[in-house]
Amino acid sequence: MPGKLRVTQIKSTISHIARNRATVRALGLKRIGHTVEVADNPATRGMVRQVRFLVSVEEIPGTGKGAVAAPSEARTGTRPSEDRGDAPASHRSEDSEEKE
């Protein structure tokens, strides 16, 4: 399964050449702040490269070749202590550890 890219338009296409406006539209972007997921292939990478000053791009992890479904904790990058709103162990003060 090919990977995916998350592309977000961060600047306006006003006052840019028609070719750049058309490329942004062809990527599926309609307005500033709009985000789309596109297939990661040489064609879309080339399109993104042509308008790199108008968009921001990030690779979506786990969608590339040989990707294995990861547990939700690894996918979100948070630990259970952060989900509850508690400070992670590295950020707790020594006083709070003595009380527990």
pLDDT in tens, 11-44: 999 999 999 999 999 999 999 999 999 999 999 9
35 vs 53: CA distance, rounded Å: 15
Query: Both ends of the chain: CA-CA distance in Å?
Result: 48
More confident residue, 76 or 90: 90
Tokens of residue 98, six digits: 């003595």
* Reduced 3-state DSSP string for 47-77: HHHHCCCCEEEEECCCCCCCCCCCCHHHHHC
Q: So where are the chain's domains? A: 4-64
Of the ranges 19-28, 67-76, 82-91, the best mean pLDDT one: 19-28
Neighbours of 100 (CB within 10 A): 5
- In this structure, what DSSP letter does residue 11 have? S
What pLDDT score was predicted for residue 2? 77
Superfamily of domain 4-64: Ribosomal protein L30/L7 (3.30.1390.20)
What pLDDT score was predicted for residue 61? 85
